[in-house]
């Protein structure tokens, strides 16, 4: 995923809120440059998120559905194999 795609996915309101929260944790003696600090936090968060190997929610849901279908098929195949093994283990009827 490119940085451009990630930028389109980021909720900047949430990022701003997180940057505000981080800047509020700074001791009062350092708060004079609070707006600048908040912007620095925001920039660091954006850069960090851009470096992550992320997928969109849509891509995640598609892969989740594929995995669920695969799991269902695997379960079905396991039942079929168990049934076939049971048939092989069953005693043969006597021949006349």
Q: Which of 55, 29, 31 has its CA nearest to residue 41?
A: 31
Q: Is 52 exposed, middle or buried (0-12, 13-18, 19+ CB in 10 A)?
A: exposed
Give dist(CA 7, CA 59) in Å, integer.
16
- Under a CB-based contact definition with an 8 Å cutoff, are residues 43 and 18 in contact? no
- How is the chain split among helix, strand and coil, in percent rounded to 5? 80, 0, 20
Per-residue pLDDT tens over the stretch 27-70: 766 666 777 777 788 888 888 877 777 778 898 999 999 999 99
Q: Looking at the whole model, is its pTM more than 0.85?
A: no
Going by pLDDT thresholds of 50, 70 and 90, the confidence category of residue 4 is very low
């Amino acid at each position: 995923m490119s940085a451009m795609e990630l930028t389109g996915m980021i909720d900047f309101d949430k990022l701003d809120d997180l940057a505000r929260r981080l800047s509020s944790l700074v001791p009062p003696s350092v708060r004079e440059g609070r707006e600048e600090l908040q912007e620095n936090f925001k920039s660091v968060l954006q850069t960090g998120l851009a470096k992550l190997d992320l997928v969109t929610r849509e891509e995640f849901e598609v892969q989740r559905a594929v995995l669920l279908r695969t799991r269902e098929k695997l379960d079905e195949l396991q039942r079929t194999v168990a049934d076939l093994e049971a048939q092989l283990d069953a005693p043969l009827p006597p021949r006349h």
